[in-house]
Structure formats: C-alpha cells, structure tokens
Chains A and B, each alone.
Chain A
Amino acid sequence: MSLQSGWEAVIGLEIHTQLATQSKIFSGAATAFGAEPNKQACAVDLGLPGVLPVLNAEAVRMAALFGLAIGAEVALESTFDRKNYFYPDLPKGYQISQLAQPIVRGGTVVINVGEGDKAVQKTINLTRAHLEEDAGKSLHEDFAGMTGIDLNRAGTPLIEIVSEPEMSSSAEAVAYARKIHAMVQYLGICDGNMQEGSFRVDANISVRRRGDPQLGTRTEVKNVNSFRFLERAIDYEITRQIELIEEGGTVQQQTRLYDPDKDETRMMRTKEAADDYRYFPDPDLLPVVIAPETLMAWKAGLPELPDAKAARYQAEYGLSAYDAAVLTSTKETAAYFEQTLAAMGSAGDAKLCANWVSGILAAQLNKASLDTTHSLVRAEALGQLLLRVADSTLSNKLAKDVFDAMWAGEGEPDAIIEARGLKQITDHSVIEAMVDAILAEHPDKVAEYRGGKDKLFGFFVGLVMKAAKGKANPQQLNEVLNVRLGPCGAGD
C-alpha cells in the first residue's frame, strides 16, 4: 500500500521464536505440539509448590547461535529475571525472562524490499534477543462460559527477538520478519510453524508527519500468524492511525488484536493502566555463563546463512543479486535449487535451474498454496526435465507442458516426453526439408521478404513450427531459415 502523502510510519517488531529443543527450558517435559491438554506439563511446568527451575543448556546454545548469526554481541554472562503478573495460564504468577542482561544484544539483518531490478537492500538493527519461557494457553471456547487452561506450552523455550523501530512500511516489516524466519530455520533452532505459534510476530506501529523528529504514540498489534496477515494488519493500523489524527483525534497507546476474518485490528487493552511487572533477578537461577572457547566453537560450526549463500550463488553461478536473494530466502528453496542443479550432473546449468525454481516452480507452488518441501515435483525430477532443455530435446515451452504433466502425477520427465512424442526435432536435414517445403508453398512472401519486409521472418517460423507441431528446435530453425532466405532486402 502507498502511504498517504505527508505521512510516514515507524514500525518495530517483537518476534517470539520457540526454540526447537526436545525438552522445556526449565524442566525435562517434552515440547512437542498437539499433545492432549496438560499431558506435557510436569511439576515444574505446573508451578507446584517447592519446585525449582533448571536451565536447559540446549536453549542457551540455540539463543547464542542466533546472536552469532546476526553478528550480535553474545553475552558471556547473562541473567534471568522474574516478570510478575497474574494470569491463569501463567502457572507461577511470574514468567522467567531476561530483562537486565539479555543473552544477545545488537546485531543486524539485511532485507530485500521490492522485486527484480527495483529491489533495494536495507539494513535493520536489532535491539536484543533474550531467553524466556512460554506461557500456557487459555481456551475460551468449549467450556460453557468457563475458561480452560492447557499448560503443555508452559515452559517451552523462547527467544524474543526485538528490532529497532527502523521499518517504514508493511513491505519492509514483512521482509524483515521473513528474513528472521529464514535465519532461525537455517540455524535449525525453530521449526518456523506460524500456524502452531512457533514463530509469533507482534508489531509496534506509529505514524508521524514526514519530517517530524518526534515519534508518534504507538500501538502494539498481536495475534498475527502469517506474513500475509502481518502485512494487512500493519496496513490497516497505519491507515487507522492516520485517519484518526487527520480527523482531530489522538492515538492511544494500546495493545490491539488483529482479526483476520474482518481484516481489522481491535483494542485488547490500553497501556495506560500499564502493568507494573516488578522485575527482579530470579534467585532460583545462577547467571548463564558461556565460556569464550565454547562460543568460538559454536561460531565455527554455524551453517551457511542466507546472505553468504546468496553471495556464493552470485559468485559461483553468476546469478543476479535478486535471483540469489529469492533462491536463498528460505532454507528449503535453496536446498531445492541445489538438488535440482545436482540432478543435472555435469550438464548443470545454474541459470536455467534458478529461472525454473524461482519462476515456474514458485508460481505453481503459490497457486497450490504449498511450500517447497511439499512440491509435487521433486527436485531430482525437475533436474531430469531441465537436462532435456539443456540438450535441446525440449523447448522451454514444451518443457512447461511436461512440467505440468509431472505436477499432475503422470510420471518421470523422459517417460512423459516419450509417451507424448514431445521430443524436439533436432535433425538438421529434417528441419531443412520442412523449411524448403514451406518456402516453396509461399514464393510471393519469400519475394516480399527479400524485398525488405523483415517482419515476415516470424511468419515463416510460425508456419514451420506449425508443421512440426511445435517440436522443431527453435535455434536450428532460425539458422536454416536465415540461410535459405538469405539476407532481408537482398532482392531476388
């Protein structure tokens, strides 16, 4: 959406990322999603009298990996604090979090905004990322006016990733959220499932008149469980705030919920009655200490991350910055691309693979609302298909037909080509014969072409292709036509 002229938006995101540990952050209970309510909550998660938290070292490692990946300062010593508030799905009456000394401070990510040649890069600074425990869930339906509590999620490890308020549009915010989403999956520290709440984005949004040095009053929008909803929620909120101010009103500091059914945000609570969380250091937990050698070993073991991979694709395969960014935007897409290329073996053509993976495949996935891992055409099969393009068996157009057949479950590419008789005609003498036959049928047009009417070249191509049922190798056809017709305007 385009901002109303004279206004600018200021957006910062807080992203709650569930870490993919086997057990909870302070207990040995499992973290798997979807278990029967309260079956994955032990005495510690239930906050029973007398229990004590013991920190899961794997959660620390995962948080540190994130910090290393964004070039942040990973604290060799960080501490846990208690955030005190009453809520039925918060078993202890406080959440163990990190306020004063978070494990990760600073860091940056580079986002790509816009498409193709118009894409621009922007660097977003992060404020911090800290470890904390997730709360349980309040179930307001199905209990006839009562509220049910499911504490399975209580104690699931989170890192809350906080950005600086440096984004100025929903597109930038989505690009940033997608980049963080990609990073945590590259790192293997989060499954990224937004529907199940593994990756939850809250947006802080304010608007101000362009050039105004003062920030406007912000609202926080919660309950956004897809990137599409994030975009729509931000756009809605920006418009709402601008209209409010233009009508003489003022923005209230509020927490608002996004309702995807109505595509609007609604007030959840005002921040004026702000909770005083009475943070203080948790006396049950010692400081989290990471040895410098351990941190160095973790850093050395980092996987190739999106930016590095994109740079490699440009250098190694000669891809454009935009194509490289698209292909590396998720771990799965990059893996698919690399598998497709590998399946082509020595005939591998990276640009061809890149075009197909980011073009035809992406469009098809989008149409079917599938992600790359659920593609109906496997990377190996696509590689086989592209081999037939590379060796001129198929034109791009025919290859698309074969791809569609593969998507429809008709089998392997070579079998489809064979069954449909789609094999391209590459026999030079056959093409010459076809060209000669067509030219003989149209002496008048040949004369016009030779008289300078160069547009007729396409006319002849079309007629030969029609005769060849589209299977003539286009490049060879062009060559033969050029030779047989001679230079345009050469006269008889």
Chain B
Amino acid sequence: MSYHLKTLTELRAGLASRAFSARELATCFLNRMATHDGALNSFITQTPEQALAAADLADKRLAAGEEGALLGIPYAHKDIFCTAGIRTTCASKMLGDWVAPYDATVHQKLNAAGAVMLGKTNMDEFAMGSSNENSAFGAVKNPWDHSAVPGGSSGGSAAAVAARLVPIATGTDTGGSIRQPAAYCGITGIRPTYGRVSRYGMIAYASSLDQGGVLATSAADCAVMLQVMAGHDPRDSTSANVPVPDYVAQLNQPLAGLRIGVPRQWFTSGLDVSVAARIDDALLELEALGATRVAIDLPDAELALAAYYLIAPAEASSNLSRFDGVRFGYRCANPRDLNDLYERSRSEGFGPEVQRRILIGTYALSAGYYDAFYVRAQRARRQISANFAAAFARCDVIAGPVAPTVAFNLGAHSSDPVTMYLEDIYTIPVNLAGLPGMSIPVGFAGTRPVGMQLIGSAFTEARLLAVAHHYQQHTDWHQRMPAAYREDAV
C-alpha cells in the first residue's frame, strides 16, 4: 500500500479512480498513528471512529462522482481549532476536557471539502513555546531523533507529518509556530498573510499575530490545503476580503527574473555555520533555476524580538482572561470565595510558560508602564513593517534561515526562557509585519534537518509556493523521511 509515501496529488488520483477508498486510506494512517504515536506523542486526541464515519461519507460522495481536492484525504488538526463534539484542549489542563459547541471556520471548510480528520495534535500550551515542551499532555519527540524537540508550537502537527502519520496537518503561527517546527522536522510549512485564513474558532494567543496555516511534505500539498482554508470570513473582522488565487494552478509560474533578497543581518555569528551552509546551497540551486540573489538589509531583528515579547504577551494576558473557572474549563476544588476561585483555577490550570507570559503582558499594559512598553513596542512594529517594505522594493521574495540552529535536545532550553525566545528571531519579524512565510527542507546538519525560510509581501502566497515548488522539483530533501517511520504499519 504505502499510502504514506504518496503525495496528496497521488492520493487524490487514487481516490478518484477508486484504486482505493477513503476508508482504506484513513485506516492505513490510523494504523500508523496507533503503531508510532506512543513514541512520538504527536497527538492529544485520536478520533478513529469519527474518522472512519467521515471516510465513509467521503466514499459516498466520491461514488456519486463528486470531485474535490481534499475529498477523502486524511489530515490532523492542531488542537487549537474548535471542533464541535470533539475536545479542544490547547494542550492545557485548563481545557483538558472542554468540548466546543461549534466548529472553527477552518474546520467547517475542511469538513465541507470532505477532508477526513484523524485526530488533534499536540502543541505548546496555548501556542506559547518553541519546543513543544510546554504541553500539559507531555513533550513531543522529533521523528528524526527522539532526543530532539520537534519545535513549536505546532510541534505535534510537524512531527506527525514528518513521520507520515498523516499526510497533512493544520497549524498556527504567531511568532514562527508553523515555520520553525516544519524546519526542525524536515517538512514544508506555510504561514499565510495575516487575515488570509479565518481565526474564528482558532483559540486566540495573540490576536494581531495569530494565523492559521499548513504543514505538509511539499509545497504542492500545502497549496491544495491552503486553497480550501483561505478566504474571507464575515465572522472574523480581521479576515481579509481579498480574492484567493488558484494556488495549485500557479505552482508552475516561472522563476526566471525572480529576485531573491538575502538579509545581510541574518547571516552573522548568531547563525549556526552548517545551517548557513545548507541555505547557501539552496540559494545556489535557486540561482541555477533562474533566480537572482540580491543582498538586502533587514535590520532591527532584536527590536522585533523585544516588541513581540511585549505585544504577544499583552494580547495573551487579555485573551486568556476568560479562563477564570466560572463558565467552562478547569475549576479548582472547593473555592473559598471568588478571588480564591480565580487564583487557584488559573494557577492550577495554566502551565508555567503561560503564566509567565500572562504576567509579562499584564505588566506591559499596566498604568505607568503602558507607554514605555506597549506603545513603544507598537512603534517598533511599524518600524519592522517599514523595513520589510524597503526590502521588497529591491526583491520579490526574501530567503534566509528559519531558526539559528537545527532542532535542539529536549530539555536544553527549559531552564532559560530567554534563550528559547531567541529561537524565534528570524520568524517573528514576519508576524509583526503580517506577511506570509514558508519553511522548506534544504538538507541536514548531522542527522537533523535544516529549513530555509521564504518570505513574501502581503498576499503573495502563490509566488512563495511556486518558488518552493520549483526547488522541490529539482531536489529531494522534502522526500526524505526518518528511517524508523518508513515501513508500512502492520
């Protein structure tokens, strides 16, 4: 069978020709999850029963001659998207048994398309983290090396796709949470422009930075999934009312004449030399395919990092106020009074990193500190946007590292939050400016994958996907998979 070695396009063709059924496909991947996820811990909730029912429904639609890019295709959701009837935990004790009474817009769209959800993936609690170690459901392991982290916060989705437990998965990216785990796990991920994908039903971490996206094994597969997820949603005031181009049709747009901007400031002593070398290789490949390399300036990365770690916690401190033990979620036992209910429900329900960010955010918004922190951070944010605008005057896409290093060892940064925050230095500016970004695999440093970041101006996802697709037509890094997960499950 080896369905897990096929691309989404091949799976679609097989389903359309009835070479195999959606039920067979779902069963294959559910078996892989059952066999392998004990070691990886990439899923919080597996939903085999609902998956098989959805697969049967997809088979009926296929039998009736219906066509659809995702009809019968298995996938996994990051456990941050609300799914009616199936728990949505955000990897938090706070929402350990919470079942949403409604579907996220993204989930509605995937359901309508006939995609078959197999389960909900592990993540850093409330999407706060870069290693997937901040989960109330335990850390996720990197399929390439079980002593390494998969990255975060969409670490479960990245690990599950890298191990081919699912062909494709959703993720969210607030400061790099799709791109960095995609890089660490050797897969392809896209974070679209802010507003491209509805945030309705996607539990908020930092509202002005959060954006849903895709983790897959190739840019072509990302294009198929993003096509279904993208679009204006009247229930999300910040979703963009901008037409969605045909991403799949535009995958083959030529690279000739493409100017790739490479930020000088990103290739300095902070960047691991072997990561830098792999990115240079990839840029040479793209030049061979007709693109031109242009040196550009993209200053203020440290400023961006500081601004992010004020703005995101500020918004989070407010977004997470609703978790108060009153109406839903975790409530402490035998509260003495209202304040005790609040204090203990939140102290016991939230993990340490979430509490840290709530405290930072509360501080940053407090009277007397607001101007010094929040207002200045917003000013810095505008500066970052201006820097990108200046850069895009000289190039069409920007290429660079996703993270300073390859995946680090589990526990390596757990006692040092600031070092952990530095993981995000190349990804965060993209979120602050609301731009689309991708991570594509470009080789290895030792046994661990290296990812390259591609950044576009707003709503140029089609071009980013095309650049990545061309690269992947001429390289096979995206087809590499960890040996332990290559064989069919029994």
Contact = CB atoms under 8 A, between A and B. Distances in A.
Interface string B86-122: 0010100001001011101000000000000000000
A88 B234 CA distance: 29
Contact of B95 (A49, A92, A94, A278): A49
Contact of B237 (A48, A49, A149, A286): A286
A46 interface: yes
Contacts of A413: none
Best-surrounded residue of B234, B324, B366 (most CB of chain A within 10 A):
B324
B235 interface: yes
Contacts, number: 101
Interface string A456-485: 000000000000000000000000000000
B211 to A, nearest CB: 12
Given A52-B200, A278-B365, A285 B237 contact: yes
A300 to B, nearest CB: 29
A47 B98 CA distance: 14
B interface, by DSSP: helix, strand, loop or mixed? loop
B329 to A, nearest CB: 8
Number of chain B interface residues as a range: 35 or more
B202 A50 contact: yes
B199 A52 contact: yes
A99 to B, nearest CB: 11
Best-surrounded residue of B207, B234, B326, B328 (most CB of chain A within 10 A):
B326
B338 interface: yes
Interface in B275-303: none
Best-surrounded residue of A52, A82, A91, A285 (most CB of chain B within 10 A):
A52
Given A52-B199, A276-B367, A47 B234 contact: no
Contacts of B101: 43, 48
Given A50-B104, A86-B324, A286-B237, A280 B318 contact: yes
A54 interface: yes
A49 B204 CA distance: 7
Interface in B355-380: 362, 365-367, 370, 374
B321 A94 contact: yes
Given A94-B321, A284-B207, A52 B235 contact: yes
Interface string A39-64: 00001001111111111000000000
A149 B318 contact: no
A84 interface: yes
B201 A50 contact: yes
Interface string B190-228: 000000000111111011100000000000000000000
A49 B98 contact: yes
B203 A50 contact: yes
Contacts of B100: 48-50
Nearest to B361: A278
Contacts of B204: 49-50, 284
A149 B257 CA distance: 63
Interface string B316-330: 011011111011110
B237 A54 contact: yes
A86 B203 CA distance: 20
Given A280-B370, A280-B374, A52 B321 contact: no
A278 B237 contact: no
B342 interface: yes
A54 B235 contact: yes
Interface in A76-123: 82, 84, 86, 88, 91-94
A149 B324 CA distance: 14
A55 B329 CA distance: 27
Contact of A50 (B82, B208, B329): B82
Interface string A247-283: 0000000000000000000000000000010111001
B321 A86 contact: yes
A278 B362 contact: yes
A interface, by DSSP: helix, strand, loop or mixed? loop
Interface in B311-358: 314-315, 317-318, 320-324, 326-329, 338, 342
B314 A47 contact: no
B362 A93 contact: no
B238 interface: yes
Contact of A283 (B90, B315, B323, B367): B315
B236 interface: yes
Contact of A47 (B237, B327, B374): B327
B238 A49 contact: no
Contacts of A48: 100-102, 322, 328
Nearest to A276: B367
A94 B82 CA distance: 22
Contacts of A46: 327
Nearest to A277: B367
Contacts of A49: 82, 88, 90, 95, 98, 100, 203-204, 322-323, 328-329
Contacts of B208: 283
Interface in A116-143: none
A51 B321 contact: no
B200 A51 contact: yes
Given A48-B328, A50-B82, A50-B202, A82 B238 contact: no
Contacts of A93: 318, 320-322, 324
B70 to A, nearest CB: 22
Contacts of A84: 317-318, 321, 365
A50 B105 CA distance: 10
B321 A92 contact: yes
Contacts of B202: 50
B74 to A, nearest CB: 23
A434 to B, nearest CB: 82
A279 B314 CA distance: 10
B246 to A, nearest CB: 28
A280 B237 contact: no
Nearest to B209: A283
Contact of B234 (A50, A54, A276, A285): A54
Nearest to B95: A49
A283 to B, nearest CB: 4
A51 B208 CA distance: 14
Best-surrounded residue of B88, B90, B315, B321 (most CB of chain A within 10 A):
B321
A111 to B, nearest CB: 35
Contacts of A92: 321-322
Nearest to A280: B365
A51 B315 contact: no
Contacts of B236: 52, 54
A348 to B, nearest CB: 53
Contacts of A280: 314-315, 318, 365, 370, 374
A46 B322 CA distance: 9
Contacts of B338: 88
Given A50-B82, A280-B314, A91 B327 contact: yes
B345 to A, nearest CB: 11
Contacts of B201: 50-51
Nearest to B236: A52
Interface in A14-32: none
A284 B237 contact: yes
A276 B328 CA distance: 25
Contacts of B366: 276, 278
A60 to B, nearest CB: 13
A276 B327 CA distance: 24
A144 to B, nearest CB: 16
A88 B98 contact: no
A94 B317 CA distance: 10
20 contacts: A48-B100, A49-B204, A49-B328, A50-B88, A50-B204, A51-B200, A51-B201, A52-B200, A52-B235, A52-B237, A53-B237, A84-B317, A86-B321, A91-B322, A278-B367, A280-B365, A283-B315, A284-B238, A285-B237, A286-B237
Given A88-B324, A91-B322, A278-B370, 11 more contacts: A47-B327, A49-B100, A49-B322, A49-B328, A52-B235, A54-B234, A86-B342, A92-B321, A93-B318, A94-B318, A285-B238
Closest 8 CB pairs of A and B: A93-B321, A283-B208, A278-B365, A283-B207, A50-B201, A49-B203, A47-B322, A50-B82
